[in-house]
Structure 1
Amino acid sequence: MFFINRVLSFKIYDSYSLKDKRSTVKSLIKRIHNRYNVSIAEVGEQDMLNVSKIGIAITSSSQLIAQQTLDAVIEEIEARYEIEIFDIQEH
């Protein structure tokens, strides 16, 4: 079994209040979890107006599949949402 996790820090462009931010982050988390079946949660910066930090984790019998899945998740987040990822940490 292989376990890979990443922490993404990103700026949300269409966020003018904490309500806007939470709406965007909840939508992102729900969509990514349902589509890719990964563990995902907001892990930091909860009180920042337009910055967020989410953790994504996956377990797989193949390291290649786990890596490809996380790469696809990051690509979809960047393409679908008005955000800018400025830091990716792999643990």
Structure 2
Amino acid sequence: MVIGCCSIRFYLHENRSLKEKRRIVRAIKDRLKNNFNVSVAEVGDQDNWQSLHMGISAVGSDRPYMDGLMTKVVDAIDRMNLAEIIDCKTETMNLGSGNF
């Protein structure tokens, strides 16, 4: 089993409230879930309306595919132009190879 994880921090330049931030979070989550088979969550900075920290994960059986998927997800978020990406970390790991 191969797990791909991505931690992305954003700066929200034009944001003026938590309500506007929630709109951006919802837009990113909806687009990623519709276009990729990934799980998305806001994992930090919930009370700060100008910063956003999101976690994205996916599970598969092929490491090169998972590396490519995480790259495509980050590129898709960047093309949305909803927020500036200020930090991005991705990791792909193997979890066990035997029977459970």
TM-score by length of 1: 0.91
* Largest Rg, 1 or 2: 2
Amino-acid identity (%)? 30
Give, in whole Å, the separation in 1 of the partners of 2:46 and 2:18. 9
- Name the count of aligned residue pairs: 91
Which amino acid in 1 is paired with 2:49?
A: L
Matched, 1:27 2:27: yes
Return the offset for 1:15.
Answer: 1.1
How many Å apart are 1:83 and its aligned residue?
Answer: 1.4
* Structure 1 runs (4+) greater than 6 angstroms displaced: none
Tell me, which stretches of 5 or more residues in structure 2 are unaligned?
92-100
Q: Mind listing any 5+ residue stretches in structure 1 that lack a counterpart? A: none
The 3-state SS of whatever aligns with 1:47 is coil
User: Which structure carries more helix by proportion?
Assistant: 1
Kindly indicate whether the alpha-carbon contact (under 8 Å) linking 2:29 and 2:40 is maintained by their aligned counterparts in 1: yes
Partner of 1:72: 72
The two structures, once aligned, show a CA RMSD in angstroms of 1.2
Q: Is the 8 A contact 1:11 1:83 kept in 2?
A: yes
CA distance in 1, matches of 2:21, 2:5: 23
Does the aligned pair in 2 maintain the 1:14–1:82 contact within 8 Å? no
Amino acid at match of 1:82: L
Check the 8 A contact 2:5/2:57 in 1, yes or no: yes
